[in-house]
Every structure is written in C-alpha cells, then in structure tokens.
Amino acid sequence: MAFSQETYARAIDMLRDMSLEKKRVYRQKEAELHHKIPELAAIEQQIRALNLKTVSAVFSGEGVADIHKEIKELSAKKSKILKEHEQEEYSPVCSICNDRFLVNGKYCDCVTAAATEIALKELYATVGAQNYGFENFDISYYPENCRGGMQKLYDFCKDYADSFSGSSKNLLFMGKTGLGKTHLSVAIAKQVIKKGYGVKYYSAQNLFTVCEKEHFSYSGQTPQSDEMLTCDLLIIDDLGAEFITSFSKSALYNIVNTRYNMGRPTIINTNFDVDQIEEKYSERIGSRFMGNYTAKLFKGNDVRQLKNQ
C-alpha cells in the first residue's frame, strides 16, 4: 500500500520548497528586526555563543547548568521583544517532523498528505474531470426503471472504494457510453487515493500508446509500464475505443494476467460485451474477464446527453 516512489519524491520536493521559502521569509523579517532593534541582534549573538560554549562544557562536565540557565533567560528576553513587535518565533512547515520528513525511518504524515494531493491532481489532469465523485452522482438522470439497479451499482462502488484493501476484486464495468462508468470509476479512484493507495488511471488509447512507446524505446526504461503492473489499483477507461493492434492485444493480456497473478486489482470500463471482447481481443482475454472479474452492467440513457439538455 503506497504511492509510487516518484510521487513521494515530488511530495518531498514540494514540502522542501515550502520549508525553504518559509525560512527565507522569516530570515528576511528577522534581519529587518535586528536592524531596527540592535538589542535583539545582540541577544541572538549571545545565544549562539552560549550554544557553542555548551559543547565544550559538556566535554569538561562543568558549568552546563549555568549556561542552560543563561540561554533560557536570554530566550525569554528574546521572546518578549519579538512579541512586542508582533513577530512570532520561527516554526517549521511541519511541527511533527520539524521539516525532516521522516519519523522513525518512515515518511511523516506531512509527506503522505502532500503525496495524496499530488496523486489526486495527477488523476484530475488525466481524466480532465475534477467533479466526478460519489457526492455528485445523480441517479435522477436515469430512466425510472433503471434507477433501482443504478442505486445498487452506486452502493456497490462506494462500498468497494471504502473497503479497498489492495487485494480487492477486479471489476468489469460494461454498458453504453454516457452511463456513468467513467464517473463511478473516477469516484472510486479518488476515494482509494485518499486512503493512501497508489492508483493509475488510463484511457485504453493512452495506456497502449505509453506501452508501445516504452516497449520500442531504446532507453530500456519502462517506468510507466512497470507501474501499470504493480500499482495498487489500475483503472483502464474506455477499452475498445482505442485502435486495436496485435501489440495492444498482447499488452492487454500481459497487464491483465500479470496483475491477476500478483493479486492486484484492476477496473476496466468498456462499451463491448463479452462476445465483442473475445472477438476483438482474444478468447483468452475474454475468459480471463469472465473467470476473474466481477462484471457490472450499466443501464439507461446517455446521462451526458441528458445533462447537456
């Protein structure tokens, strides 16, 4: 259960930049204040000198208590002056890890929070639809005879997201365009990211383009393709809308099969039915889906068209 190393690295970069900026602004204000109140500058200098003295005092074992007492008095004086000039003492961006980003050898909560923010932004950039969530899925757009079924499907998806464990079921969302497959799968992605899991969301077209590019590049690097296989949850949107080639067929089988063998869940949205999947891709992909995926059928009229009316 984790975001990718790249996401964590970006999160730490972001926090480090924030920390440096906060320090820079503080130092600037501090310098102005020292200029205005020479007494404050003198106190700072005394504290620094006493801190150095502490080191040698600790070695000799003499006078440590006196030095500490003196530092305490000077610090109190300093606080009083700062307060009078409405300048607060410096505080780090994160008071838990003191901007070290690690606590007991693990990422601090501030890193997890920043990584979550980055992963969500990445998802929004991919799907270009920030507003897809469980909170704004509107059953009333569906014809009356479909609402009961859609409500059950909605509840199923919400429960899936809430109880996601990294070894959850594989899902196959089937049904025509505009029936909410993308909406509910993005809603699941958001919720699962917020739980701290690494989610990758691709349109089928984009997924195979990336696979092909990395497969035929001479760098030997396949970072995105590797992540497709290993991330906690992979979502492939609109399978069947891509240009189907023998490469994309074998790439799809490889992804589906490898993730199944590793016990990592995948959600696939498609307009195809099982017969079409077997016909367009292969029988073995069709039987993988039938055997190892929970299929959910979306019914109704094109919700997107209705919404635009």
Residues at the site binding Zn ion, with contacts judged by CB under 5 A: 94, 96-97, 108, 110
Which is closer to Zn ion, CB of 108 or CB of 174?
108
* Distance of alpha carbon 290 from alpha carbon 284, whole angstroms: 10
* Distance of alpha carbon 11 from alpha carbon 101, whole angstroms: 10
Residue 276 CB, shortest distance to Zn ion, in Å, is 50
* Distance of alpha carbon 166 from alpha carbon 163, whole angstroms: 10
Note the residue count of the chain: 309
Residue 23 CB, shortest distance to Zn ion, in Å, is 15
Which is closer to Zn ion, CB of 112 or CB of 294?
112
For residue 244, the Cα-to-chain-centroid distance in whole angstroms is: 30
Residue 26 CB, shortest distance to Zn ion, in Å, is 18
* Greatest Cα-to-Cα distance within the chain, rounded to the nearest angstrom: 86
Residue 21 CB, shortest distance to Zn ion, in Å, is 16
Q: Which amino acid is at 242?
A: E
Residue 108 CB, shortest distance to Zn ion, in Å, is 3
Which is closer to Zn ion, CB of 94 or CB of 234?
94
Q: Is the dihedral of CA 112, 117, 118, 119 positive or negative?
A: positive
Which is closer to Zn ion, CB of 9 or CB of 96?
96
Which is closer to Zn ion, CB of 117 or CB of 227?
117
* Distance of alpha carbon 114 from alpha carbon 10, whole angstroms: 9
SS3 state of residue 48: helix
